[in-house]
Amino acid sequence: MGPADMDEPGSGHGHAPGSENPPEPASDAPDAAGPAPGDAAGSAPEDAAGDAAGSAPRDAADSGAANAPDPVPPGAAVADPVEIGHRPSRKKKILAWTAGGVAVVVLLALGGAYAVYRHLNGNIHQVNISGELGTQPVNTHPQAENIMVIGSDTRNGQGGGFGQGLTTDQSDTLMIMHVSADRKWVDVMSVPRDSWVNIPACKMGNGHQSAPTTYKINEAFALGNLDGNHTDLGVACTIRTLEQDTGIHIDHFVAINFSGFKDMVNALGGVEECNTTAISDPKSNLYLKPGHHLLHGFVALAYVRARYTLGNGSDLERIGRQQAFMSSLVNRVKSKLLNPVAIYNFLDAATKSITIDSQLGGIHGLYDLAMSVKNLPASQVTFFTLPTYPRQLVVPTDTANVMWTQPEDSTIFQDFRNDIPVTNATIRQAKKPTMSPHTVSVSVRNGTAQFGLQDSVGSLLQQKGFNVTSMTQESAQDVTETVIKYHAGHAAQARLLEAKVPGSGIQEVPGTSDRLVLVLGSNYGTTTQTAGTTQGSTPTPSPSLSSRTASQNICAN
């Protein structure tokens, strides 16, 4: 049985990974310890008054519009709109989303003493996970950097209000930050935590090896953390999953926890947020009037984690709010560069709350990375969310999860691998191929214990017009992921075959042959097709890339 898969962890139990129709996670309901612990800020602590930055409304119109509910529950995280006296220029240079990672070195740029350097470097938790990653994808652009950023929901030391009785760390924020080889642009791709993916075998915190499974992507982090708080193993399993399913070589990672986030916000004197409509979210105990606010500590944490009564309540909308907030946070850091006390407090909180890979080089490696992008304008830092569609379109009983939209997402992954900025033009060009199946040669190999599967699948492909050159049984019978392997120059043929093979993905491999190799895994027929339907009749929305730059106004959608 897999660890509890929880957005708002409580005392409930997870379900076994690999179950085809998982129930909606029990984590979405409050537990006995308090309100919706994961998304919730919980009851405000004794210094809640300091967290809720309330002052005069921006103008008279704001003060009379859509105020917080009356009465507001005791201890609620309430913030009135405030007049922001000085807003830093949105064209100022930016380091990246993760203030706990890249922006963590701003103080060093001020010429901090060696004692400060040593202190901050000692704060950072560094781990070597290279032995847990196995064979990684080929890194075709080693001068570029792909950095995985993951939000760790560890409840260790958090006290009440954030969920109790957990045996694992959780995660609901996952990004891949691509820093271009020429350091002229950065793309930050958010991967929805409910993405239905193939998770490889991973080392778990209890010392055992997990079985390969098909489940939502945040299960990978929880699996590594099984029976304890093992951030290194959770990160390793998540990287293995991302690399297997996207083909993107992950160079480094930054993991940041709950406590660090609120402490960093407090060190900056709050971070600016803008909501155009009133927010009334009992689950997170968050109440905000329309307008600009300076959010502090627990209130800021409640805002970035709140979900159910904001917008349509989806994780995808929450990702958009998080992206805007993190852009604002980094700009807030930039505005404090002449305040060494604030910057030191910020970096002290940040470095105490992050875990990075030892290969990154500690504070020195972070400093070098920061300096390499010091001339990067905020307009060249782009945030976007990986296009998805509801898995319910494929499995009607699954109302909780999403699937990656193909072939568009494979094109995005290819751009990351090729060090090319992702744009809507990229998405529009990723059309289903129109070539004839008769021009595509394929070898079908059965990697499962299902006897004769290669023959039945090969016969079906022959009926569809493909040139099937062989149908064989692999010696390994524990393959979980159905994959189409192709050589350079034959991606279009692979996509054509992918459209006809339920549950398949595509993978470029070394070589020059024009023949495709279809390796059948245990997920064949389970992830894109249901009984009584065909692949062609499964509707998937036509995706577009909704992105924002770090220089964009925080009130913009």
For 38-55, give the DSSP string.
Answer: TT---S--TTHHHHB---
Backbone angles phi, psi at 535, to 5 degrees: -55, -40
19-32 per-residue burial string, b: 16 or more CB within 10 A, e: under 16? eeebeebbbbebbe
pLDDT for residue 447: 92
Give the tokens for residue 179: 């820093």
Answer yes or no: do 424 and 444 share one domain. Answer: no
Locus of tokens 């036509």:
542
The domain boundary residue, chosen from 400, 430, 460: 430
User: Taking a C-beta distance cutoff of 8 angstroms, is the pair 382, 185 a contact?
Assistant: yes
CA distances from 340 to 85, 103, 121, 345, 486 (A): 20, 14, 18, 8, 54
Answer yes or no: do 383 and 508 share one domain. Answer: no
Backbone angles phi, psi at 408, to 5 degrees: -60, -45
For residue 555, is it within any domain?
no
Answer yes or no: do 381 and 464 share one domain. Answer: no
> What's the domain count of the chain?
2
For residue 15, is it within any domain?
no
Locus of tokens 């304890």:
228
Q: β-strands 388-390, 196-199: how paired?
A: unpaired
Residue 506's domain spans which residues?
Answer: 432-528
Answer yes or no: do 40 and 56 share one domain. Answer: yes
CATH code, 95:
3.40.630.190
Locus of tokens 């075998």:
201
What is the C-alpha to C-alpha distance for residues 387 and 541, in angstroms, rounded to an integer? 9
For residue 549, is it within any domain?
no
Model pLDDT for residues 99-119, shown as the tens digit of each residue: 444 344 444 444 445 677 788
For residue 8, is it within any domain?
no
Ranges of the chain with pLDDT below 70: 1-114, 153-170, 259, 308-309, 311-314, 429-434, 525-546, 551, 553, 556-557
Residues 6 or more apart whose Cβ sits within 8 Å of residue 230: 169, 205, 224
User: Taking a C-beta distance cutoff of 8 angstroms, is the pair 535, 500 a contact?
Assistant: yes
Answer yes or no: do 523 and 390 share one domain. Answer: no
Answer yes or no: do 522 and 415 share one domain. Answer: no
Answer yes or no: do 159 and 35 share one domain. Answer: yes
The domain boundary residue, chosen from 382, 402, 430: 430
Answer yes or no: do 265 and 153 share one domain. Answer: yes
Q: β-strands 186-190, 171-179: how paired?
A: antiparallel
Which of 464, 462, 501, 496 shows the shortest CA–CA distance to 483?
A: 501
Q: Report the run of H or E that residue 300 belongs to, with start and end.
A: helix 297-305
Answer yes or no: do 413 and 437 share one domain. Answer: no
Strand locations in 42-181, DSSP E? 77-79, 125-127, 145-152, 171-179
Which of 338, 264, 336 shows the shortest CA–CA distance to 304?
A: 264
For residue 548, is it within any domain?
no
Question: How does DSSP classify residue 100?
Answer: T
User: Taking a C-beta distance cutoff of 8 angstroms, is the pair 199, 179 a contact?
Assistant: no
Helices (H), 54-186: 60-63, 106-109, 114-123
What is the C-alpha to C-alpha distance for residues 513 and 442, in angstroms, rounded to an integer? 11
Answer yes or no: do 405 and 447 share one domain. Answer: no
Locus of tokens 């379900």:
15
State the number of CA atoms in the 13 A half-sphere of 91 facing the CB. Answer: 0
What is the C-alpha to C-alpha distance for residues 191 and 385, in angstroms, rounded to an integer? 6
For residue 177, is it within any domain?
yes
What is the C-alpha to C-alpha distance for residues 326 and 320, in angstroms, rounded to an integer? 10
What is the C-alpha to C-alpha distance for residues 426 and 420, in angstroms, rounded to an integer? 10
Amino acid letter, residue 38: G
Bridge partner residues of 155 (DSSP): none
The domain boundary residue, chosen from 430, 456, 480: 430
Residues 94, 304, 355, 346: is their CA dihedral positive or negative? positive
Helices (H), 113-175: 114-123
User: Taking a C-beta distance cutoff of 8 angstroms, is the pair 373, 143 a contact?
Assistant: no
Helix (H, G, I), strand (E, B) or coil at 176: strand
pLDDT for residue 334: 75
pLDDT for residue 529: 33
Answer yes or no: do 436 and 402 share one domain. Answer: no
Backbone angles phi, psi at 206, to 5 degrees: -85, 5
Task: Report the side by side order of strands in the sheet with 467-473.
Answer: 467-473, 441-446, 516-520, 483-486, 505-508
For residue 19, is it within any domain?
no
Helix (H, G, I), strand (E, B) or coil at 487: coil
CATH code, 504:
3.30.70.2390
Does 290 sit behind a cis peptide bond, omega within 30 degrees of 0 on the bond before it? no
Give the tokens for residue 404: 């990656």
- For residue 403, how many other CB atoms are within 10 A of its CB? 23
Answer yes or no: do 470 and 324 share one domain. Answer: no
Strand locations in 247-325, DSSP E? 252-257, 271-275, 279-281, 286-288, 291-295
CA distances from 484 to 56, 444, 498 (A): 60, 9, 7
Distance, CA of 14 to chain centre: 20
For residue 387, is it within any domain?
yes
pLDDT for residue 423: 87
Which of 492, 311, 480, 478 shows the shortest CA–CA distance to 407?
A: 492
327-341 per-residue burial string, b: 16 or more CB within 10 A, e: under 16? bbbbbbbbbbeeeee
pLDDT for residue 158: 42
Q: Report the run of H or E that residue 402 belongs to, with start and end.
A: strand 402-404
